[in-house]
Amino acid sequence: MTRHQLFLVARQTYMNRMKTFGFWSVVLAPLLILLVIFGITFAIDATKSDEKPTVAIVNDTSLMTYLKKNKSVGAQYTNIKSSAKAKQALRNDKIDGYLTSQHERYHLTMAKDAESLSEDTLQTTINQYYMVNQAAKLHLDTKQLQNLIQPPSFNSTVYSSNGKTSAGGVSSNAANSMLAGGLGIFIFIFLTAYVGMIAQEIANEKSSRIMEILLAVTSAGVQFFGKLLGVAGLAITHGLVYVVAGVIGYVFVPDNKYVDMAKELLTGVDVGFAVMTGLLAIVGIFLYMILTAIISAMINDLSQVQQAVSPITYMAMIGYILTFILEGQPHNMLINTLSYVPFVSQTLMPARLGLQYANMTDAFIALVLEVVVLVFLARYGLRVYKKNVLTYSDGNITKAALLSLKGLFSKKTIDE
């Protein structure tokens, strides 16, 4: 019976939210933002002006021939006899700029409003031109020249403490920490969305006095866990929407450099890391949900939702912000300790793991700690919830929260 009621409460919570605009706007907003960013970059690429600047080469036809063969600079070239004439042509807007060469010194003058050209590429091209010329003077053949300019090969691998050397070395490292960073944002968005939702759900039932009807036929436990299950279902649905969107994107979005970048990044992530991070995140989110449910039970009316939710959001922010100052501090005691602490570890530990500042054992310890606190909160939180959900105190909820905290640790069962 109770299990059936649990299911009913969860389903009711789930279905009602699914039908709201609010839920879908939270789910779809990030996708829309991505789509807009994608669209804008695409549009910018597509509408980029194809005009190439015209650069006059002053009195150096061999350089001009070399530059013309090499398309990478993205400019058109003409030959002009003297720099005075070139200056004149520039003043009359006939050309966008001119390049002088004297005794191996090259100088480029460009009009202010000229179409841009890549100076770096121009310089590289001139370097090559110069080198080829010098080689010719020294009578080196192409092979010899190549040997001369080829850099020696350099590779690195990282020995991570889980015993394996990660194949991609630097690239896997970067991939993991980028994933951890991205996940940090993701978890944070998730947390704020669902923390708010739980608070609303419970506060609504409590303030409209529906709670009494519900508790008459069910029990505090059914309500507490049913609500949590329903919202957890929503969070899971939310995550699945992104997975599906990701797969669709992966398959259907035409190849461009951003998609390639993302694909490259994802192939660099190792599976163990991804699974551990996912678990830390999911348990972390559940932790926050339970905490919110407990605190929301103290709310008397909907206007207090914000007051109840903001401390929780700040707490979530701690873990998130610390990930930014983490880089370059592998041995910071405070950060290292915090990365094991539930409510913070869900973002901090993956970030440390990604940067190889921590190993899988550390992450596992953090996960176990999270689970222990989760079980504790669920059991003892139910008591506090039960006590508070039918009590309408007109005082502020901070006082109620402190009182309940006391109750959380006192051994005897609480009733009124």
Cβ 396 to other proteins, closest distance in Å? 21
Cβ 338 to other proteins, closest distance in Å? 40
Cβ 416 to other proteins, closest distance in Å? 5
Cβ 10 to other proteins, closest distance in Å? 12
Cβ 304 to other proteins, closest distance in Å? 17
The smaller minimum CB distance to other proteins, of residues 16 and 256, is found at 16
Q: Which two tokens stand for residue 409?
A: 């640790």
Secondary structure letter of residue 158 according to DSSP: E
Phi, psi of 316 (to 5 degrees): -65, -30
Cβ 212 to other proteins, closest distance in Å? 4
Whole-angstrom distance, CA of residue 198 vs CA of residue 291:
10
Contact 78, 56 (CB under 8 A): yes
Signed CA dihedral, 258, 264, 268, 269: sign only: positive
Calculate the alpha carbon distances from 29 to 24, 78, 238, 353 in Å.
8, 51, 12, 29
Query: Contact positions toward other proteins, by CB under 8 A?
Result: 1-2, 4-5, 8-9, 12, 16, 204-205, 208-219, 390, 415-416
The smaller minimum CB distance to other proteins, of residues 369 and 414, is found at 414
The smaller minimum CB distance to other proteins, of residues 209 and 263, is found at 209
**What dihedral do alpha carbons 105, 111, 112, 113 form, nearest 10°?**
-140
The smaller minimum CB distance to other proteins, of residues 216 and 271, is found at 216
Calculate the alpha carbon distances from 191 to 164, 286, 414 in Å.
34, 9, 30
Q: Is 124 exposed, middle or buried (0-12, 13-18, 19+ CB in 10 A)?
A: middle
DSSP state letters, 272-332: HHHHHHHHHHHHHHHHHHHHHHHHHTT--SGGGHHHHHHHHHHHHHHHHHHHHHHTT-TT-
The smaller minimum CB distance to other proteins, of residues 175 and 199, is found at 199
Whole-angstrom distance, CA of residue 325 vs CA of residue 153:
33
Which secondary-structure segment (H or E) carries 96? none
Q: What residues form DSSP beta bridges with 166? A: 158
For the CA atoms of the chain, what is the radius of gyration? 32
Cβ 336 to other proteins, closest distance in Å? 46
Whole-angstrom distance, CA of residue 188 vs CA of residue 196:
12
The smaller minimum CB distance to other proteins, of residues 1 and 46, is found at 1
The smaller minimum CB distance to other proteins, of residues 96 and 205, is found at 205
- The angle at the Cα of 291, spanning 229 to 6, to the nearest 5 degrees, equals 25
The smaller minimum CB distance to other proteins, of residues 219 and 329, is found at 219
Cβ 415 to other proteins, closest distance in Å? 4
Cβ 207 to other proteins, closest distance in Å? 8
Type of residue found at 4: H
Cβ 17 to other proteins, closest distance in Å? 11
Give the pairing type, strands 165-166 and 158-159.
Answer: antiparallel
The smaller minimum CB distance to other proteins, of residues 15 and 261, is found at 15
The smaller minimum CB distance to other proteins, of residues 12 and 171, is found at 12
